[in-house]
Structure 1
Amino acid sequence: MEHPGLPSVIVVVLGLLGNFVEGLTPRVSFPIGAPGRSLSHFNSSDVRNTTTLLLSDDGDTLYIGARDFILSLNVSQKDITVIGKLDWSPSEKDMYDCSMKGKKKADCHNFVRVLQFLNSTHMYACGTFAFSPRCTYIKSEPFSLVTSPTGKPEEGRGRCPYDPYQRNSAISVDGELYTGTVADYMGNRPVISRHLGEGSHVDLKLDDTVGWLEDPTFISSSFVPSEEKIYFFFSEVGREYDFVEKFTVSRIAQVCTSDIGGQRTLQKRWTTFTKAQLLCKSDNEIPYNVLQDIVTLPPPDGTSVDDTLFFGIFGSQWSVNTGKSVVCAFRLGDIKDVFRGHYKVLNRDTGRWSPRPQERPANPGECGLHNASDNILRFVKENFLAEESVRPVERRLTLVSPDQRYALMAAQRVTASNHKLYTVLFLLTETGYLHKAVLLDDGDAHIVEEIQVFEQPQPIKSVLLSVSKGEVFVGSSEGVVKVPVSNCSYYGSCSECVLARDPYCAWDHTHKVCAAIDGIQDVAGQDVEGGNVQRECVSAIMPRSRPGPAKGNAAKLLLVSLGKVVRLQCPEVSRLARSRWEGLDLYLDPNVYQTQDDNSLNFLSTAATQGQYSCISTENNFQQTLAVYQVKLESHPTQQTTPTSEAPTKALASTTRGNLRGRPTFPPAPTSATVRQVSANFTRRVAPSAGSEETGVTEADSPGGEALPVEQGKTYLKELVVVSMLLAACVTFLITIGLYNARQRFRNKTVPQDVSQERDAEQEPLRDDQSPCGNGKRSDPTAPNGQANGVACNGTPKASNGHLPNTPT
Structure 2
Amino acid sequence: MASSVLLLLLLDSTRSLPPPRISFLLNSTDRPLNHFSLPDVSNTTALLLSNDASTLYVGARNAILSLDVSQSDVIQLNKQVTWSPSEAEMESCAGKGKNRQLDCPNFVHVIEAVNSSHLYACGSFAYNPHQAFIDIRSMSVVHQAEARAHCPYNPVERSSAVIIDEELFTASTTDFKGRTPQISRFLSKDGRPDVNLDSSVSRLEEPTFVSSSLDPAEKKLHIFFNEVGKEFNFVRQLQIPRVAQVCKDDVGGQRTLQKKWTSFAKSSLLCQLPKQLPFNILEDMFTLQPPEGADTSETLFYGVFTSQWSIRPESAVCIFKLTDIRNAFSGSFKTLEKETYQLKLSQRRDYLGKCGLSNASDAELSEVKKSFLTNEDIHPAEKVLVFPEQKYSRMVVMTTQAANGKQFNILFLLTESGFLHKVVSLDQGPRVIEEIQVFKEPQQVKSMIISSSKRVLYVGTSEGVTAVPVARCSVYRSCSQCLLARDPLCGWSQTRRTCTALDGSSADIIQKVEGDIVGTECQPSDEHVMKREVVVRLNELVKLDCPKPSNLATLSWSFSGTKALPSEFPQMRADGSLMFFASPTRFGGYRCQAKEDGLRELVVIYTVREAYSPRHLPKPVTETLASQSPGDENIGTEEPTVSDGHKNEATTTDGEGSEPKNIHKGDIEERVTVAKGETFSRKTHSTQDGSGSEEPAPTSRTDSRSMLNPSQSTPNQRSYYSELVVVTFLLVVCLLVLALGFLWIWKQKKAVSRGNGMFSPEDKGRTNTCIQVSELTTLEGGPDQTITQ
Q: Flag the 1:648–1:621 CA change in 2: closer, same or farther, 3 A.
A: same
- Which amino acid is the alignment partner of residue 65 of structure 1? G
Q: Flag the 1:12–1:382 CA change in 2: closer, same or farther, 3 A.
A: farther
Deviation at 1:123, TM superposition (A): 1.7
CA contact (8 A) 1:223 1:229 kept: yes
1:228 is aligned, of 219, 240, 253, to: 219
Deviation at 1:32, TM superposition (A): 2.1
- Which amino acid is the alignment partner of residue 371 of structure 1? N
Partner of 2:309: 318
Partner of 1:352: 342
Partner of 2:509: 524
| Secondary structure at 1:535 match in 2 | coil
| Secondary structure at 1:254 match in 2 | strand
1:297 to 2:291 alignment: no
Partners of 1:261 and 1:783 in 2: CA distance: 148
Which deviations, in whole Å up to 9, do the C-alpha atoms of 1:129-180 show, x marking residues without a partner?
1111111211222322113xxxxx4331111111112110001111111111
Please identify, of 628-637 and 36-45, the stretch whose mean Cα deviation from structure 2 is larger: 628-637
CA contact (8 A) 2:682 2:694 kept: no
Q: Flag the 1:297–1:783 CA change in 2: closer, same or farther, 3 A.
A: farther
1:61 to 2:59 alignment: no
Partner of 1:116: 112
RMSD over equivalenced CA pairs, Å: 3.7
Q: Flag the 1:342–1:9 CA change in 2: closer, same or farther, 3 A.
A: farther
Q: What does 1:1-20 correspond to in 2, within 5 Å? A: 7=1, 10-18=4-12, 20=14
Q: Flag the 1:103–1:577 CA change in 2: closer, same or farther, 3 A.
A: same
Q: What does 1:40-189 correspond to in 2, within 5 Å? A: 40-77=34-71, 78-106=73-101, 107-147=103-143, 153-189=144-180
Please identify, of 74-83 and 487-496, the stretch whose mean Cα deviation from structure 2 is larger: 487-496
Partner of 1:421: 407
2:384 is aligned, of 389, 397, 401, to: 397
| Secondary structure at 1:13 match in 2 | helix
Q: Which runs of 5+ in 2 are unaligned?
A: 617-668, 719-727, 772-783
| Secondary structure at 1:648 match in 2 | strand
TM-score (normalizing by structure 1): 0.80
| Secondary structure at 1:10 match in 2 | helix
Q: Flag the 1:17–1:383 CA change in 2: closer, same or farther, 3 A.
A: same
Partners of 1:295 and 1:144 in 2: CA distance: 31
Q: Flag the 1:667–1:638 CA change in 2: closer, same or farther, 3 A.
A: farther
CA contact (8 A) 1:492 1:544 kept: no
Partners of 1:668 and 1:627 in 2: CA distance: 27
Partners of 2:333 and 2:729 in 1: CA distance: 96
Partner of 2:470: 485
Deviation at 1:465, TM superposition (A): 0.3
Q: Flag the 1:373–1:564 CA change in 2: closer, same or farther, 3 A.
A: same
Partners of 1:90 and 1:455 in 2: CA distance: 30
**For this pair of structures, how many residues does the alignment match?**
706
1:622 to 2:599 alignment: yes
1:612 is aligned, of 586, 589, 594, to: 589
Deviation at 1:605, TM superposition (A): 3.2
Partner of 1:649: 682
Q: Flag the 1:670–1:56 CA change in 2: closer, same or farther, 3 A.
A: closer
Partners of 2:107 and 2:707 in 1: CA distance: 64
| Secondary structure at 1:371 match in 2 | coil
Q: What does 1:255-404 correspond to in 2, within 5 Å? A: 255-301=246-292, 303-320=294-311, 322-356=312-346, 359-394=347-382, 396-398=383-385, 400-404=386-390
| Secondary structure at 1:649 match in 2 | strand
Higher strand share: 2
CA contact (8 A) 1:653 1:669 kept: no
1:573 is aligned, of 549, 552, 564, to: 549
Q: Flag the 1:784–1:231 CA change in 2: closer, same or farther, 3 A.
A: farther
1:543 to 2:520 alignment: no
Partner of 2:661: none
CA contact (8 A) 1:234 1:250 kept: yes
Please identify, of 359-368 and 729-738, the stretch whose mean Cα deviation from structure 2 is larger: 729-738
Partners of 1:788 and 1:458 in 2: CA distance: 102
Partners of 1:757 and 1:22 in 2: CA distance: 104
CA contact (8 A) 1:242 1:352 kept: no
Determine what percentage of the aligned residue pairs are the same residue: 39
Deviation at 1:492, TM superposition (A): 2.5
Which deviations, in whole Å up to 9, do the C-alpha atoms of 1:273-325 show, x marking residues without a partner?
111111211112111111111100112355443322111111221143x3112
Partners of 1:212 and 1:445 in 2: CA distance: 37
Q: What does 1:631-670 correspond to in 2, within 5 Å? A: 631-635=608-612, 647-652=680-685
Deviation at 1:686, TM superposition (A): 9.7
Which deviations, in whole Å up to 9, do the C-alpha atoms of 1:347-391 show, x marking residues without a partner?
3333333333xx223352122233322222221211111222222
CA contact (8 A) 1:220 1:234 kept: yes
Partner of 1:409: 395
| Secondary structure at 2:580 match in 1 | strand
1:453 to 2:438 alignment: yes
Q: What does 1:778-789 correspond to in 2, within 5 Å? A: none
Q: Flag the 1:669–1:23 CA change in 2: closer, same or farther, 3 A.
A: farther
CA contact (8 A) 2:679 2:701 kept: no
Q: Flag the 1:24–1:380 CA change in 2: closer, same or farther, 3 A.
A: farther
- Which amino acid is the alignment partner of residue 397 of structure 1? V
Partners of 1:784 and 1:319 in 2: CA distance: 108
Partners of 1:94 and 1:349 in 2: CA distance: 46
1:498 is aligned, of 483, 506, 510, to: 483
| Secondary structure at 1:250 match in 2 | strand
Partner of 2:622: none
Partner of 1:692: none
| Secondary structure at 1:594 match in 2 | coil
Partners of 2:128 and 2:405 in 1: CA distance: 53
| Secondary structure at 1:393 match in 2 | coil
Q: What does 1:790-809 correspond to in 2, within 5 Å? A: 806-807=786-787
Deviation at 1:655, TM superposition (A): 6.7
| Secondary structure at 1:97 match in 2 | helix
- Which amino acid is the alignment partner of residue 575 of structure 2? D
